[in-house]
Structures are given as C-alpha cells and as structure tokens.
Amino acid sequence: MLGSMEFYLLASGSKGNCFVLKTAATQIVIDCGTTKTYLTRSFHMIGVDYLDTEALLVTHGHRDHTSQLKMFSGVEAYAAFGLENRADQHWIKPYTPFQVGDLRVTPLPLSHDAENTVGFVLETAQEKLVYITDTGYVREECVPLIADADYYVMESNHDVGMLMQTRRPYPIKMRILSDSGHLCNEDCAHLLTRLVTPRTRSIFLAHLSEEANQPQLAWQVSADALKQCACRKDLVLKAAGQYEILMGGCRYEERLDSAYRPVGVLELSSDR
C-alpha cells in the first residue's frame, strides 16, 4: 500500500539547496538556499504553496542552504546552530527526536566545516525518509538509524579524479576530500549498500558538484554497487542536477507519466 509521503528536490548543489516533504497532514522544507525568484517559481511549478509550510529544518549555516531565511520568516524554524534574526527558533540536538505534525524528525550529527551540521530521519507511521548531504563521512552509530528506509536523499558530491583535475586551489581540494568535506561517489555507493533493503523504493543522489562530477557518472557508480545488493528490481535511482526538480513518493508512484519525469532521470530496473 502506498504511503502519504510526496517530496520534491527543488535545488541541490553549491549554488543552492531546497527540499520539500509533504504528508497527508504536514508540509516541511529542508534548507532554503538559492534565490527567492527561483524558489517561488519552483514551488509554483510543483503546485505547492510555500506559505503552507509548517516547519523549516536547516542542516547548517552555509549560504547555499540559508540564503532565503526571510522568505520563511513566518514559519517555525529548527536548527542546531543559531539562525540569523530568528531568536524564536527551535534548537535541536542530534539523536533527540521531535514532532512536526505527523512527522517524527530525528537529527543526525554530520561532519562538515560548518557549526553543528545535521541530517535528518523523517518518519510517519508507515514511511521513513533519510536526508543526508554536506558531510565528509557518516558516523558508524548513525548507520542503524538510517538503514532500511523507504527513501534516501544522499550526497554523491564528486568524483575524486575529476576533483583533482579541476583548477581549484589545492587546499580547497583537500577540504572537500577531508572528513569535514563532502561524500564522493564511491563513498556514497558503499554506504548505500549498507543501508538499502527490499523496503527501499527510491534514492536521490544529491549535492553533485557541477565541476567535479556528472549525473550519469554518479548514477553509474551507485547503480553498479546496488546491483550487488538485495534491493527491489523496481528501485528508482536518480541523480540530481543543480536546478533539476526531482519528484518522489506517492504521487510519483501513482503517476509515472512523462509529465512527472524530469529530463535526465535515471532509473535502476531489471533490464538496465
């Protein structure tokens, strides 16, 4: 039986990030980077009113995740660090769940060069979604909490070889490769093999570098790894472009027509 979660990755990458999750009773947003014009247009395109958002969850303080805090000034905000001009924010702690409507939200500690960066496990009575980006690695104690989910949004930031060939300064390259940087394609794929079960319905590969990665490459690395796992033959695997709106959850599963397939969506199936 289909659950009630529907979700949209509106933007993902160094130029901006925003994720929308809806259930039968609740609407939340994770991060609010990029421009107000883009976000306003994107919400309109998916038929969602951002003013109906009940909670804004913020992973960390980098501008590509926080630039439009004012756009959500009337929304309850949750973060593990101090938000600018949000003295009324809800302070959250890793491993300490809180409730937003029918969603149980558990923050997870991540490893990034920003104060108190977190990911999230979001659960209803029926479904579980894991959202992890901007981390150099995932702590071992987090693995049992994030395994066996219906849906994953997981960072697959860079190809190591491509990164080293970029013209970025060497210290920047080392920062990205460090434990407080970003997950590479191989680390993401290996992690997914430890997490995915026959319950898992879809995976979004997120926060891809435009300079040091390609959607097809990120997809192929994870697809090859997942083919060795006991996963569903109809598991959907998508690699997100910076401004490619990806849709998942119950509405996607009910309406698999071309109108709901963004250009470049890649699916893992038994005949691939």
> Per-residue b/e over 45-67, b at no fewer than 16 CB within 10 Å?
eeebebeebebbbbbbbbebbbb
Can you give the pLDDT at residue 231? 85
Domain spans, the chain: 6-260
- Contact in structure between 36 and 68 (CB atoms under 8 Å): yes
- Contact in structure between 238 and 204 (CB atoms under 8 Å): yes
Q: How far apart are CA 122 and CA 158, in angstroms?
A: 26
Can you give the pLDDT at residue 258? 35
> Does residue 269 surpass a pLDDT of 60?
no
Average pLDDT over residues 150-170: 97
- Contact in structure between 228 and 193 (CB atoms under 8 Å): yes
The matching CATH number, chosen from 2.40.30.170, 3.90.1640.30, 3.60.15.10, 3.20.10.10, for 6-260 is 3.60.15.10
- Contact in structure between 209 and 155 (CB atoms under 8 Å): no
pLDDT confidence band for 53 (50 / 70 / 90): very high
pLDDT digits over 205-228, tens only? 999 999 999 999 999 999 999 998
pLDDT digits over 92-123, tens only? 999 999 999 999 999 999 999 898 999 999 99
Can you give the pLDDT at residue 265? 40
- Of 192, 96, 95, 187, nearest in space to 142 by CA: 95
